[in-house]
Amino acid sequence: MILAGDVGGTKVHLALYDFAGGRLKPVRDDKVPSHEVGSLEAAVESFLKPGEREQIAAACFGCPGPVRDGRLKLTNLAWTLDERELEKSLGIEHIFLINDLEANGYGIPELAPESIVTLHEGDASAVGHRGLIAAGTGLGEALLIWDGKRHRPIPSEGGHCDFAARTDREIALLQYLRGTLKGRVSWERVVSGIGIKNVYAYLRDVEKMDEPAWLSDRMKTEDPNAVIGRCAEDGSSPLCAATMQTFAAAYGAETGNIALKVLAVGGMYLGGGIAPKSLKTLASGGFMQAFLDKGRLSPVLESIAVRVILDDTCALKGAAAYAEARAAEITGHSARADSFSVL
């Protein structure tokens, strides 16, 4: 079996996979709130059942942040991880750490067709580089480079690049955030779960949009991002709708930026937890208008497909695929290849 993990700022999603007919076969998975465990090791120990550890051939964890020499300090969680230390403490021979968006990139080929919804058709037959952007707790970005045979995920920290305001509202939002953050503003401060709350606060406190008592009460007692997203989708709050429309426009603009930088003729993919829950908002026009608003290069963007990943296990599937492939390189034994012979 393969142990896969998607380590985020709010939760650690763990899963065990096997293979059948060359495809990943999920065994079981579970989510652990990050703040409830003191380490990745503790999360894994609480997840594994007696007898499972001995069946694990390799493991891979997709994590937010840059991995250097098998080691990283997580971006949105106060953990430092090291492949060698994890192998010793968990008793698993082959453990790999990769960027979480890199894991998502490896997961895309493992997805079923119904796990992807198209926002913009573009030229669906075009083959070439792709881009991946994922708004969740933070903002992740990756390049999927076409080498003539397959797409190779290249991780980046593009979500931490400088936010580029385009409209009068975004310029005022930038000025507001420069004040509240005491300086620099990155894309992640607008296009993420963090960003949604920032935009909401700006519209409420600066533009003085009405926050009714019922909404204020829900914001205090429930997950604010979930409240904003649901009230935007169902139309019950103009403030929430404006928040998500502003968020979506910025999301579309940065998606278009990545598409230009990598010349993503193979399409742009939206991952993360926010897009699948905000399809109505994303499809309402603001996202694609901002995506296409690239002046003389707008016709290039018209030809690029934009797709949303619906499967929240994409990063897990990618981590499992990566672990199996790397372990096969090291040992000369491929669980994926062997699974064809049992059909």
Domain of residue 42, CATH code? 3.30.420.40
Question: What is the domain range of residue 324?
Answer: 2-103+312-342
pLDDT attached to residue 340: 84
Q: Are residues 30 and 58 in the same domain?
A: yes
Q: Are residues 214 and 71 in the same domain?
A: no
Task: Please state the domain count of the chain.
Answer: 2
pLDDT attached to residue 83: 97
Q: Are residues 265 and 144 in the same domain?
A: yes
Q: Per-residue b/e over 110-119, b at no fewer than 16 CB within 10 Å?
A: bbeeebbeeb
- Report whether 7 contacts 64 (CB < 8 A): yes
Helix (H, G, I), strand (E, B) or coil at 11: strand
Q: Are residues 171 and 246 in the same domain?
A: yes
- Report whether 236 contacts 99 (CB < 8 A): no
pLDDT attached to residue 288: 97
Q: Are residues 40 and 184 in the same domain?
A: no
Q: CA–CA separation, 250 vs 270, rounded Å?
A: 13
What is the identity of the amino acid at 98?
A: I
Q: Are residues 189 and 317 in the same domain?
A: no
Q: Are residues 118 and 196 in the same domain?
A: yes
pLDDT attached to residue 187: 98
pLDDT attached to residue 162: 98
304-322 per-position pLDDT tens digit: 999 999 999 999 999 999 9
The pTM score is: 0.93
Q: Are residues 118 and 74 in the same domain?
A: no
Q: CA–CA separation, 335 vs 328, rounded Å?
A: 8
Compute how many other C-beta atoms are within 10 angstroms of the C-beta atom of residue 161.
15
pLDDT attached to residue 342: 55
pLDDT attached to residue 8: 82
231-260 per-position pLDDT tens digit: 999 999 999 999 999 999 999 999 999 999
Q: Are residues 132 and 193 in the same domain?
A: yes
Token pair, residue 93, equals 């021979």
**Residue partners of 130: CB distance under 8 A and separation at least 6:** 143, 144, 146, 151, 262, 264, 266, 267, 268, 269
Q: Which residue has the tokens 């903002």?
A: 139
CATH number at residue 141: 3.40.367.20
The length of the chain is: 343
pLDDT attached to residue 137: 86
- For each of the chain's 343 residues, which pLDDT tens digit applies? 999 999 987 789 999 999 999 999 999 999 998 888 889 999 999 999 999 999 999 999 999 889 999 999 987 788 999 999 999 999 999 999 999 999 999 999 999 999 999 999 999 889 999 999 999 988 999 999 999 999 999 999 999 999 999 999 999 999 999 999 999 999 999 999 999 999 999 999 999 999 999 999 999 999 999 999 999 999 999 999 999 999 999 999 999 999 999 999 999 999 999 999 999 999 998 999 999 999 999 999 999 999 999 999 999 999 999 999 999 999 998 999 999 865 5
pLDDT attached to residue 11: 87
Q: Are residues 41 and 143 in the same domain?
A: no
What is the identity of the amino acid at 143?
A: L
Q: Are residues 84 and 70 in the same domain?
A: yes
Q: Are residues 278 and 322 in the same domain?
A: no
